[in-house]
Amino acid sequence: GYTGGELLRLLLFHPEVEIKQLTSNSYYGKLVSKAHPNLRKVTSLKFFSEEELEKVDTLFLCTPHGESMKKIEIYMGIADRIIDLSGDFRLNDQIEFEKWYHQSHTKPELLQKFIYGIPELHRDKMKDAQFISSAGCNATTTILGLYPLFKNNLVELDKTVVEVKVG
Tens of pLDDT, residue by residue over 40-76, are 999 999 999 999 999 999 999 999 989 999 999 999 9
Segments in the chain forming alpha helices (H): 2-12, 32-35, 67-78, 94-101, 119-127, 137-151
- Active-site hit among 12, 19, 56, 137: 137
Percent of the chain with pLDDT over 90: 86
Mean pLDDT within 21-45:
93
pLDDT confidence band for 25 (50 / 70 / 90): confident
Integer Cα distance of 146 and 142 in angstroms:
6
Order of strands, edge to edge, in the sheet holding 115-117? 56-61, 79-84, 131-134, 115-117
pLDDT confidence band for 156 (50 / 70 / 90): confident
> Taking the model in full, what pTM does it have?
0.89
Beta carbons within 8 Å of 94's beta carbon, 6+ residues apart: 104, 105, 108, 111
pLDDT confidence band for 157 (50 / 70 / 90): confident
Q: Is 137 considered catalytic here? A: yes
Integer Cα distance of 116 and 131 in angstroms:
9
Integer Cα distance of 118 and 138 in angstroms:
12
Integer Cα distance of 8 and 17 in angstroms:
10
Integer Cα distance of 148 and 31 in angstroms:
42
The string of pLDDT tens digits covering residues 87-124 is 999 999 999 999 999 999 999 999 999 999 999 999 99
Task: Output phi, psi for 57, to 5 deg.
Answer: -70, -45
